[in-house]
Amino acid sequence: MSDESGTQNTPAGSESGPRPEPLRLFGTTWVNHDNGYALRRVGAGVGSLAAAAASCLVLRFAFEGLRIADTGSFVTLLVVVMFAVCSALAFRHTWDGFGKRPDPDRQASLRGLLAIGFVGSLLAYSFRCLTEAPGEKLHRAEYETALDQHRKRTTRRTGNPSKKRRRS
């Protein structure tokens, strides 16, 4: 049983085994693709694309400020290249993060770069929503592995091993 947000509402102890890890904006609806999963994917994709467009508009105002300040073409070019490179790196880092768990130390060291390249992260999130919930493939693989391990641990043998026929 699940509620509107897709989180599991099972009484404590009624179901044993691993529970799926909820995804941001999707809860656990990614497991069975229920409770508005497709609508959430569309909403998350359109929302992150709109946020990227709004961010580009804000960056445009910043570039206008540089032009008004008359800093020169070199500084303007340097800022444009910085945002482009940081956005490309943030896109790649975010896209790779959907397929494998990021290293916490590397994540901490790239925090500034990812903050500058936020447009790339938003675009990666939006493009990933076209095929799946961002991070779904990684979480599904981990969840299925945990389920298999749980089944192997809890499967009981049938029959009495002492009555087993011995080979001659």
Could you tell me the sign of the dihedral formed by the alpha carbons of 40, 41, 47, 48, in that order? Answer: positive
Question: Which of the pair, 116 or 168, is modelled with greater confidence?
Answer: 116
What is the three-class DSSP state of 8? strand
d(CA 107, CA 137): 20
Q: Which residues contact 10 (CB under 8 A, 6 or more apart)?
A: 1
pLDDT digits (tens, 9 = 90+) for 40-98: 999 999 999 999 999 999 999 988 998 899 888 899 899 999 999 999 999 999 999 99
Q: Alpha helices, DSSP H only, in the chain?
A: 37-69, 73-97, 104-109, 111-116, 118-128, 136-154
Q: What is the pLDDT of residue 10?
A: 42
pLDDT tens digits, 13-39? 446 788 999 988 898 899 999 999 999
Residue 4 has pLDDT above 70, yes or no: no
Rg (CA), the chain: 24
Average pLDDT score over the chain? 86
Query: Rounded to whole angstroms, how far apart are CA atoms 98 and 48?
Result: 16
Query: In this structure, how many other beta carbons lie within 10 angstroms of the beta carbon of residue 157?
Result: 6
Quote the CA–CA distance of 159 and 32 in Å, as a whole number.
35
| pLDDT at residue number 63 | 87
Q: Which of 5, 26, 6, 19 lies closest to 134, judged by CA?
A: 26
| pLDDT mean over 148-152 | 89
What number of other Cβ atoms are within 10 A of residue 129's Cβ? 21
